Structure 1
Amino acid sequence: MARGVYIHIPFCHQICNYCDFNKFYFKNQPVDEYIEALGKEMALATKKHPNSFNQIETIFLGGGTPTALSPEQLERLLNLIRTYIPMHSVTEFTSEANPDELSEAKMRALYKGGVNRLSMGVQSFDQNLLKKIGRTHSNVHVYETIALAKEVGFQNISIDLMYGLPGQTMAQWTDSLEKAFALDLPHFSAYSLIVEPKTIFYNQYAKGKLNLPTEDLEAEMYDVLMQEMEAHGLQQYEISNFAQPGFASTHNKIYWENDEYAGFGAGAHGYLGGLRYSNHGPLKKYMDAVDAGELPIVHEHAVTDAEKREEQMFLGLRKTAGISHNIYEEKFKETMQMHYGPVIEKLVLDNLLEHDDVGIRLTRKGRFVGNEVFQQFLLED
C-alpha cells in the first residue's frame, strides 16, 4: 500500500547547471495538455491499484518547477489531484518552488488547493554563486517570497542550500547559513554538489573547466553545517536534512524507510505492489500512452527479497535514527545479523556505525563517508 504520491512537473523557465532531472523549457510546451494527461494517469493508476491509495499520507509536487505553472494551471492540477487521490489521510502536501516565480496568486492557489508545505530552492545567498549554477533569483526574492508565504498562511516552509559549489569558499558558505537562519524557518535541506551526467556542469567538468572545492574543504563545510544547525536548534534527522521538532519531512521519510509510493508524470519513478517502475520521459511518449488508456510505464522491476534487504539498509542508514531491529525483523522475519553481522561488526570497529539493542545508525564520523558505508551492505549474491 502506498504511503505517498509524487507528481512530476517537468517544466522550467530556466535550466540549472547541475540538474539532471527530466525537464523541458516551458516555452512552446503543451503544458495544459500535460496537466490533463496527469489526471488521466492518476485515474488509470487508482483504477488498476484500487486498494493502494486508501492511506496516502503525503503528496509532493516536484520537478522541474511546479511554480513555473500559472495560477490557473495550478488550480486545475490541484483539482485533478483531489479528484483521483483520496485526501482523508493526507497530512503533508508539499510543492517545490522557485523564489522568483512564486507570485501571490500562485501561492494562494497552492494554499487553497491543499498545499501546506513549501520547499524552496534557494541554494545560496551569494549572487555570484547563483549565477554560476544557473539560478535567476536574488536574495530580495527569497525574503519577500517567504514573508508573503507566512502572510498567506504557510507555516511549514523549507529551503534548500548547496555546498561544494564551483569556486565556493568557506566564508560564502557560512554567510549563506547565517542568512538562512535569520529567516526563522522550521526546516532546511543542505546538499553537496554532485556532478551528474547530461548536465552543463558535467560538460564543463569533462573539459577541466569546473573549479570545484577540495574534498577536505567540502568535508569542512559539512562539519560546519552540522554544528550550526545544532546550535540553532535544528535536529539532523537525515544526512542532508534538519528540522525543528515536528517538522521533519514525512514524504522523504517514505523513501528512506523503503515504503511504497506512487509516481506520476513524465520521467517519474514509483514503487507499488513490490514493483519499482519508471515512466516515459519524453512528453509525447508519456502523453500518447495515457491518451491510449495505458499507464505510461517504460520500465518495471520486481524487487527481490535480497534487494529489499539491501534497500532497507542503505536507505534506512541515511536517517540519523538509523534502522530499528524490530522494524527490520517485522519486515523480513529475520535479524539483521543473519546477513549483515560481520559487516556491522567491522563498521562498528571502524567507528562508522553505532549498534545497540534498538538498532544501528551512522556515527558522526560515518556521516562524512555515508556512501562508502552504504556500499558495504550490497550483497554479492
Structure 2
Amino acid sequence: MPHAVYIHIPFCHHICPYCDFNKYVLAGQPVWEYLEALKQEMAVTFERWPAREIRTIYVGGGTPTALNAEQMNFFLEAVARYVQPQASNVEFTVEANPGTVDEELLRVMKTGGVNRLSFGVQTFDAKLLKKLGRIHTSEDVHQSLVLAKQLGFNNLSVDLMFGLPGQSVKMFMADVEQALALNIPHISAYSLKIEEGTPFYRMYKHNKLHLPSEDEEAEMYELLIKRLTEAGYVHYEISNFAWHGYESRHNLTYWRNEEYYGFGAGAHGYVQGVRHVNAGPVRQYIDMVTTETLPRVEVHPVTKQEAMEEMMIMGLRTREGVARQTFLERFGIKLEQQFGTQLKELQDKGLITTDGERYWLTEKGLFLGNEVFASFI
C-alpha cells in the first residue's frame, strides 16, 4: 500500500492568470461541506485500502492557507483521525501563500502536526507580481517566513518562477539572491509554462504576452543551478534544490513512480496499480462523495509497459536517476533489455550517462529533458 498521501484544497482568494490547477475563488464556496466530504472520502478509502505506514502527507491547492483557523483545525483533526494513526516519522507539508498566514493559523497547523511549509513566492519583483496576478508583496514573504520560524517551523521551502513576461536574466538572479538571503533549506524554481485554457494562453495566442527568448530562459536556468549549488544546495531534481537531508520526501514519491493516496476535488491517486482522478468541480465532488462514497471520474489500471515508461520519465528527472537493480526488482526484466536502444541513443547524444548501476541526466540533458523523456513513450 502507498506510504504517501496527497490532499487537495481547491480554494484561492484570487485566481492567477497562469495557473491551470483545479481551483476556485473562495468567496461563496461551500467550504465546510467540502471539508466534511474530504473527511468522508478519507474514511471510506482507508477502510477499503488500509494503509500500513504513512511517511509523507502533502496538502496542495489551490491555496490551503485560504482556510481560516477554525476550518484548518477541523481539517487537520480529520487528517489526524484517518491518516496520522498510520504515520511514522511523517513529513507533513502544507502549501502556503505569503500574506495568507497569521500567527493563529500557523499555531493551528503546528499543533495539528504540520512540520513543513512551502510558500508560493514566484518572484520578489513588484511589477512581475502584479503581472502574475499575485496579491502578496515581497515584504509579505519575509514577514510570513520570520513568523513561521519563530513558531518552530524549520523545514521551509519557497517556489520561484523564471521565463516570466518582461523578466530579464538580471531580474531573475535578483530573485535568486533574495531567496538565498532567506536562509531556508529548500528552493524550487520552475519555468513558466503557458497552459491551454488560462488567461496567459489567450494573451500568448494574441501576441500580447512578451516572454524572454529561449536563450535567455536557458541562461536563467544555468545561472540558477550554478548559484544555488555554489551556496551549498543539492540539485536533486530538475527544478528542486535543498540542503542535504531536506529534499522533499513526498515529491520523491512521484519521481520514483511510487503509489500514493489522493483525496479532494480534482486530486489524482495511484493505489494497487490503479490510477484515479477525482471529480474537479467542488459541488460535483461533494455530491459524489455523499451519494457514491468515492468521487472518481476516471479509473485507469496501469499496464506493466506504462509503469516502466513512467519510471524512466519520472526517475530521470532526479539526479539520482534510475537504478538498474530497482528496475529489475520492480518489473522482473533488465533495464537494458527493455530500453537498450533508447539508452544507447541518449548516451550517444550526451544526454544521459551511467556508472554501470544507474542512469541519470548529464548537464546537457538537464536542458533537453523533454527530448529525453519523449524517447521512452
TM-score of the alignment, normalized to the shorter chain, above 0.5: yes
1:214-268: CA deviations, max 9, x gaps? 1111000000010001110001000000000100000000000000001100000
1:47-91: CA deviations, max 9, x gaps? 1112xx111110001000000000010000000011111343142
* Number of matched pairs: 376
Question: Following the alignment from structure 1 to structure 2, what is the Cα–Cα distance between the partners of residues 87 and 122?
Answer: 32
Contact 1:219 1:368 in 2 (8 A): yes
Alpha carbon RMSD of aligned pairs, Å?
0.8
1:16-43: CA deviations, max 9, x gaps? 1111011110001000110111000001
Question: Following the alignment from structure 1 to structure 2, what is the Cα–Cα distance between the partners of residues 206 and 3?
Answer: 42
- What secondary structure sits across from 1:59 in the alignment? strand
Whichever residue aligns with residue 27 of structure 1, its letter is A
Contact 2:21 2:61 in 1 (8 A): yes
- Quote the residue 2:368 is aligned against: 369
Contact 1:44 1:293 in 2 (8 A): no
Question: Following the alignment from structure 2 to structure 1, what is the Cα–Cα distance between the partners of residues 87 and 180?
Answer: 34
Contact 2:164 2:211 in 1 (8 A): yes
- Quote the residue 1:4 is aligned against: 4
Structure 1 segments (4+ residues) deviating >4 Å: none
Contact 2:40 2:293 in 1 (8 A): no
- Quote the residue 1:29 is aligned against: 29
Equivalent residue runs for 1:192-231 within 5 Å: 192-231=191-230
- Quote the residue 1:172 is aligned against: 171
Q: What is the Cα deviation at residue 356 of structure 1? A: 2.0
- Quote the residue 1:74 is aligned against: 72
- Quote the residue 2:19 is aligned against: 19
Whichever residue aligns with residue 318 of structure 1, its letter is R
Contact 1:59 1:90 in 2 (8 A): no
**Percent of aligned pairs sharing the same letter:** 49
- Quote the residue 2:115 is aligned against: 116
Are positions 1:39 and 2:27 aligned together? no
Q: What is the Cα deviation at residue 367 of structure 1? A: 0.3
Are positions 1:159 and 2:182 aligned together? no
Whichever residue aligns with residue 98 of structure 1, its letter is N
Equivalent residue runs for 1:228-307 within 5 Å: 228-307=227-306
- Quote the residue 1:55 is aligned against: 53
Question: Following the alignment from structure 1 to structure 2, what is the Cα–Cα distance between the partners of residues 183 and 97?
Answer: 16
1:162-198: CA deviations, max 9, x gaps? 0000110011101101111001010000000000011
- Quote the residue 2:146 is aligned against: 147
5+ unaligned residues in a row in structure 2: which ranges?
none
TM-score between the two structures when normalised by the length of structure 1: 0.98
Q: What is the Cα deviation at residue 354 of structure 1? A: 0.4
1:95-146: CA deviations, max 9, x gaps? 0000010111111111110000000000101010010011011111111110
Question: Following the alignment from structure 2 to structure 1, what is the Cα–Cα distance between the partners of residues 154 and 201?
Answer: 37
Q: What is the Cα deviation at residue 208 of structure 1? A: 1.2
Q: What is the Cα deviation at residue 213 of structure 1? A: 0.7
Q: What is the Cα deviation at residue 359 of structure 1? A: 0.6
Whichever residue aligns with residue 167 of structure 2, its letter is Q
- Quote the residue 1:326 is aligned against: 325
- What secondary structure sits across from 1:308 in the alignment? helix
Contact 2:119 2:157 in 1 (8 A): yes
Contact 1:353 1:360 in 2 (8 A): yes
Question: Following the alignment from structure 2 to structure 1, what is the Cα–Cα distance between the partners of residues 3 and 255?
Answer: 12
- What secondary structure sits across from 2:54 in the alignment? coil
Question: Following the alignment from structure 2 to structure 1, what is the Cα–Cα distance between the partners of residues 136 and 220?
Answer: 23
Contact 2:234 2:241 in 1 (8 A): yes
Contact 2:315 2:322 in 1 (8 A): yes
Q: What is the Cα deviation at residue 293 of structure 1? A: 4.5
Contact 2:129 2:135 in 1 (8 A): yes
Whichever residue aligns with residue 299 of structure 1, its letter is E
